[in-house]
Amino acid sequence: MRLHFVFVTHYRKRVLNTEMLNRLKEMVEQVSNKMGCQLIEFNGESDHIHILLDFHPRNSIAAVVGSLKSSSARMLKKEFPVEVEKHYWGKVSFWSNSYYVASCGGAPIEVLKKYIRAPSKFLEIAILPHPALRSGGDCRSNRSSLIQKSPQRFLAFGLFW
């Protein structure tokens, strides 16, 4: 199973430089190999990284994320103290507590690699009214009165290919 992960720096600070990204790639590859996963693609910008892993099903997603985030944060703080301390001091975590993960089983691997290499050129986001909500009704009316009271009801989706 292939999984696409995105980790964002804490407070979305623009901390990562080219040297840090290169070292992160090495670290992600080491940690994922130890967990029985294989790094397929890696890329990042100054405030986030993309990881495409061939994920071994014996692992839990949370365990892999925890290992990747904790080991990479320790390594970055140790090997790049000046760069990290410009943005974070004390016991502030390097990575945001949240993360993005999606299964990529149906997409061709080359398409995923192209997206990770250049996401801003490849991904289009469309925000359209959800068909079930156009008439003012609610497809989950028995579950949520908040949606019924909301005047703007939208569904966001990404077009990957």
Lowest mean pLDDT among 3-17, 35-49, 98-112, 145-159: 145-159
Q: How confident is the model at residue 33 (pLDDT cuts 50, 70, 90)?
A: very high
DSSP string, 141-159: TTT-HHHHH-S--EEEEEE
Considering Cα of 65, then 50, then 97, then 68, what sign does the dihedral take?
positive
Model confidence, pTM: 0.71
Tokens 């970055």 belong to which residue?
A: 76
Residues 45-103 have pLDDT tens digits of 999 999 999 998 899 999 999 999 999 999 999 999 999 999 998 888 999 999 999 99
